[in-house]
Amino acid sequence: MTIVTNPLTIGFWLWLAFQLGTLVLGQPLGSAAPGGDGSPSWLAEFGWPTVLGMGLFAVGGAAVAYASVKMVWRLRIWQKRRARR
């Protein structure tokens, strides 16, 4: 199923990562126009904001998942202790 869904969603996630990266870097969104120099200039224009955005997604997602699991675990333990009393 991953082979089917990844090509359909990767464009959106890359676009969203690029938007977040340009926001964090403080670049205007329209400033990253592809130049005529070829792939290295394109990678320099679009790559760094996208890599930064994906990194922020990874760190943010991991932090949210960690906090969610901790909260659910504590809630479960609290309910078990309450039921025991």
* pLDDT tens-place string over residues 43-84: 777 888 899 999 999 999 999 999 999 999 999 999 999 998
For residue 17, give every residue at least 6 positions away whose Cβ sits within 8 Å of its Cβ, in sequence order, or none.
49, 50, 51, 52, 53, 54, 56, 57
Q: What angle do CA 60, 66, 67 make, to 5 degrees?
A: 90
Is pLDDT of 35 > 60? no
Is pLDDT of 13 > 60? yes
Q: Is residue 19 a contact partner of residue 29, using CB atoms and an 8 Å limit?
A: yes
Of the chain, the percentage scoring pLDDT greater than 90 comes to 51
Say how far apart CA 17 and CA 23 lie, in whole Å. 10
Which band of pLDDT confidence, cut at 50, 70 and 90, is reported for residue 39? low
**What does pLDDT average to over the chain?**
85
